[in-house]
Amino acid sequence: MKKPLKLGIAGLGTVGSSTARIVTSQAEELTLRAGRPMQLTAVCTRSRTSNKDRGIDLSGYTWFDDPVALATSDEIDVFVELIGGDGGPAYASVLAALKAGKHVVTANKALIAAHGNELALAAEAAGVSLVFEAAVAGGIPIIKALREGMAGNSVSRVYGIMNGTCNYILTRMENEGLDFETCLKQAQELGYAEADPAFDIEGNDTAHKLAILTSLAFGTRIESSSIYMEGITSITSADIDAADELGYRIKLLGVSVKTDTGIEQRVHPTMVPKDANIAQISGVTNAVVIDGDAVGSIMLSGPGAGGDATASAVVADIVDIARDLSLPVFGRPAATLAPYVRSKMRTHAGGYYIRLSVLDRPGAFAAIAKRMGDEGISLESIVQKRRVGSDAESGNEPGPATVMLITHETTEKAIRAALDAINADGHIAAQPQMIRIER
């Protein structure tokens, strides 16, 4: 049997501790599967506090205070980076490990989204592996599916629910009729959302993951800064209710589509038909759909976060290295990745949901319909809610009417132009809400 594959783990938080525990507690089974023993030899963490319960006794391993020192140590063959962050010690240690001829396993989506092109070139120049299954959708093997399982397909679209915090909030809003702020607070209390939740609810987390999937799906260099991004903070109970009445659910999707003019990457709230597979994904679960020419459409779903689920993906990457399975980082040599060409969002075609708060004045509805018609937009359905403050006995003036529209397929450019004109006409009391429909 081959000599043991020596591992060094930097970062002993939830995922790092779970990874260490799996590697040590399942050593015999992993050896049988990989054909080679895997041996944890060294660790690195900011705190060596002895009374911190990590679920595993780490006293017998070499401890490093500096992750770069661990990354370049002769004691390891594989550097497992679980520190986090797109720069700082994570970036420095991963780059050092690759240049030192060490294989690298990471769960760091921010690092790969920011520096994936550079790191891939460094890994392939050194003849070592750089693998990151755990960086996207936790325990779901979506990287392996795109890089290996879909190798015989030309992919046209990849999209999915990639942030459990947002999906949890939207699910609670729908199922229990709660508002956004209440659901967010409860998500924080349960540990699903951070004290500062902006990275999740504004779409940044999903964007990092989408950038990685785009490179794998379409053979382009990673370009996360070009992703169109909207979060879920503008979603109201009225939108959730309207979606339900119209046969849809609202999900925060990351979508990457190959078009005639380039690659369109976008993260935003989306209405999906209730009978769509992805509409059934609730709570903190993640799901990713891949559309390929040979296999059609497939969906993978499962836990997108959590110590054990993410560690499962980390260990799977370690096993691949032990098996001597060495593949190009993004499924093809890094030097051959095509430059990313952005497809303009305003050319995006599809259906749209629009919510308007229409003032009670003569000609308002006619003016709105005209603005839509001027841009060639036809409507599939219209729902008008009871006016606020319209009780004649109260003596109040009629308040704005909430009007919800579903359009037939049109372009982003046409929708934006119509809404700008409607807003300028002064017939609405607030900024219009627009949500794209993905079928």
Annotated active-site positions, please?
A: 209
- Give rounded-to-5 percent helix, strand, coil for the chain: 40, 25, 35
Task: Give CA–CA dist 11/67, Å, rounded.
Answer: 9
Tell me the residue ranges of DSSP E strands in 127-282: 130-131, 155-161, 228-229, 248-259, 262-273
Phi-psi region of 303 (alpha: psi -120 to 50; beta: other; left: phi over 0): beta
Q: Characterize the bridge pairing of strands 78-81 and 5-10.
A: parallel
Sign for the CA dihedral angle at 42, 47, 50, 54 comes to negative
Q: Two tokens at 196?
A: 């500062």
Q: How crowded is residue 183: how many other Cβ atoms within 10 Å of its Cβ?
A: 22
Q: Which amino acid is at 427?
A: H
**Which run of H or E residues covers position 30?**
helix 27-34
| CA end-to-end span of the chain | 52
Q: Could you tell me how many helices (H) and strands (E) the chain has, helices first? A: 14, 17
Q: Two tokens at 15?
A: 């995922």
Task: Give CA–CA dist 244/273, Å, rounded.
Answer: 9
Q: What is the CA radius of gyration of the chain?
A: 25
CA angle 219, 222, 223 (to 5 degrees): 125
Q: Angle of helix 307-322 relative to helix 27-34, nearest 10 degrees?
A: 40
Q: How crowded is residue 132: how many other Cβ atoms within 10 Å of its Cβ?
A: 23
The values of phi and psi at residue 412, to 5°, are: -60, -40
- Residue 14: name the closest of 293, 308, 252, 291 by CA: 308
Q: Two tokens at 21?
A: 């525990």
Asked whether the beta carbons of 226 and 340 are under 8 A apart, the reply is yes
Q: Two tokens at 420?
A: 């700008």
